[in-house]
Amino acid sequence: MWTTAAESRPVESLPEPVGEWTRDHAAATCFFRSSNWYPPVLAGVRTLEEWLFAAGLIEEAAALTERLSPDDYGTYVTAWYREGLARYGSSWRYADIITALLAASRRLVPERYLEIGVRRGRSLCTVASQAPDCALYGFDLWVSNYAGIENPGPEFVRTELDRVGHRGSVQFVNGDSHQTLPAFFAAHPDLTFDLITVDGDHSTLGAAQDICDVMPRLRIGGILVFDDVCHPALPGLRQVWQELVASQPRFSAVTFDEAGYGVGMATRRF
């Protein structure tokens, strides 16, 4: 849930990931031979930046939002994209959760995608538009009027996925992610993911716990996306991203915080 700035203020101690880290690899970003001289991951932060700011990506994001059922926020974001492109053309360097997921899913074509914070399914649809056979796992509380926007539930999201031609399986896990994620992973000890988005609990400790829960299940070479890294009312989210991901040698990360509410994208190195 959204919180006030006071509730999401930075804290001195954040949680740490628990459990063993998967040794599974994302094939799209890893390289193997019979003798491996180097670590297998081919793509780091500079490559992620190229993906994130690739020509035509914002136009694709605008077209995607227009394909989905309209709501006030979606209409606003589409207008934001169009205005930025009209003013600055191809020189406009902008990123958000939609453009980040477009970039990541286009390159990875993930087999399995996990998302915390589904709401109307815009992010799920972004991934599905690039990887129509991907198995999708969505975790949400389905809070009514979440952040001032209608939150119609799983069946609505399924109809949105149909709009982008998704063919793979979809599993929704309903409830508090701090309870449902540990239970889900305990029931699926070998399940790993090419791509994961954390966009649920926006309190500092809540967001940190979600990241710590999913990090060990991200494949080596897989990508983690984290939303709202520069939200002015939620300063703790930047701390969470910086301390748990961007500053860690296990990850190679790019952070966009120049406009909008920002987004972080990182690939797991080992």
Percent of the chain with pLDDT over 90: 89
pLDDT of residue 8: 54
Domain residue spans of the chain: 27-268
pTM of the full predicted structure? 0.94
Q: Which pLDDT band holds residue 9 (cuts at 50, 70, 90)?
A: low
Contacts of 25-34 with CB under 8 Å at 24 or more apart are 25/219, 25/220, 25/221, 26/108, 26/110, 26/194, 26/219, 26/220, 26/221, 26/222, 26/223, 27/221, 28/107, 28/108, 28/109, 28/194, 28/221, 29/107, 29/108, 29/221, 29/222, 29/267, 30/220, 30/221
Q: Give the model confidence (pLDDT) of 226-247 as tens digits.
A: 999 999 999 999 999 999 999 9
The per-residue pLDDT for 5 is: 43
pLDDT bracket for residue 19 (50, 70, 90):
confident
pLDDT tens digits, 45-102: 999 999 999 999 999 999 999 999 999 999 999 999 999 999 999 899 999 999 999 9
**pLDDT above 70: percentage of residues in the chain:** 96
For 27-268, CATH gives 3.40.50.150
Cβ atoms of 81 and 58 within 8 Å: the answer is yes
pLDDT at 235: 95
pLDDT at 6: 43
In angstroms, the Cα distances linking 4 to 1, 58, 152, 226 are: 10, 30, 24, 19
